[in-house]
Amino acid sequence: MSFFEYLLRLTSWPMTPPVLYGPFHLIAAFGGSAIAILAAWRFSSINNCNTNNRDNRRSFDQIMLVSGVILLIGELYKQLMNFYIVNNHAYDWWIFPFQLCSLPLYLCPLLILIHNEKRHRILCTFLLDFNMMGAVATFIDPSGIFHPYWTLTLHGVLWHLMLIFVGFVIIFSRKADLTTKGFLRALPLFAFFCLAAEVLNSILHRFSAANLFYISPWEMSTQLLFGDIDRTLGRPVGILLYILAMIAGAWLIHNTARKITDVVSTSAPHQHAPH
């Protein structure tokens, strides 16, 4: 056993996976979300105190960059823990980091490199609408993040709380385009990532089970309700309905964010208007 693997085994504390809608689940979902939202308010409040728009943008992008680095460290731990401890030196392509909720790992650091304001807002809108929707959906059905190891379960919980934090930083910093047109502009990005996931699914299914974005035609859905749809109506119909459900969920997040922004604008008129 290598020293590196030895260190991982020191953190492989076993646990009984939490019960859905039990105390652990509810505290993690509601308590954790409250802390994430308060932290987002704190960081975005610091951000909004800047009087210079360029400084405001730089501060926001730095928060996103740090968030991306935190996600990267967490993902590396998850991948290594699964490889060395859970799967005994075998790679499980099911956890390849290209799910909808994995995208902020790549997109948050990318924001600092995008100088075009329109493209920056489109990417922020996508992160808010689709990735926070993914986080909310995961807490509704967290079976995929509850593991027989404490650190992996905490990783799953903290990862999705981080997505809520990122989403609310975007809301409070007013970096997304919360108009209907703004949502429509984010849809091609979602379509691109769905297509990329399906291409990867077509490649990876030859080696192992993989269901990126949960839309692989070779794997039945493990998602709540959609597994039943697959068995009843067939996998193609299930995939189509799942994609439409993700779009509908993102639209709901988009409109909720707009209402939150309106409330914040009314209660805090001293903050800067969107630019």
DSSP string over 50-92: -SSHHHHHHHHHHHHHHHHHHHHHHHHHHHHHIIIIISSS---
Q: What angle do CA 69, 139, 154 make, to 5 degrees?
A: 50
Q: Do 115 and 45 form a contact (C-beta atoms < 8 A)? A: no
Nearest to 253 by CA among 103, 132, 108, 123: 132
Nearest to 29 by CA among 197, 129, 158, 152: 158
d(CA 129, CA 139): 16
pLDDT mean by block of 10 residues, the chain; 275 residues: 87 96 97 98 70 79 97 97 94 94 98 96 98 96 95 98 98 96 98 98 90 95 91 96 98 97 74 43
Tokens of 95: 């956890």
Quote the pLDDT of residue 206: 87
What interhelical angle do 132-140 and 150-173 show, nearest 10? 140
Query: 14 φ, ψ to 5°?
Result: -70, 155
Q: Do 129 and 103 form a contact (C-beta atoms < 8 A)? A: no
Quote the pLDDT of residue 51: 47
Tokens of 182: 């703004």
For the chain, how long is the longest CA-to-CA vector?
60
Quote the pLDDT of residue 54: 76
Nearest to 260 by CA among 122, 164, 168: 168
Q: Do 121 and 182 form a contact (C-beta atoms < 8 A)? A: yes
Residue 140, number of CB atoms within 10 A of its CB? 11
Residue 2, number of CB atoms within 10 A of its CB? 8
3-state secondary structure of 49: coil
Helices (H) and strands (E) in the chain, counts: 11, 0
Q: Do 151 and 158 form a contact (C-beta atoms < 8 A)? A: no
Distance (Å) of CA 139 to CA 32, 58, 146, 163? 11, 31, 11, 12
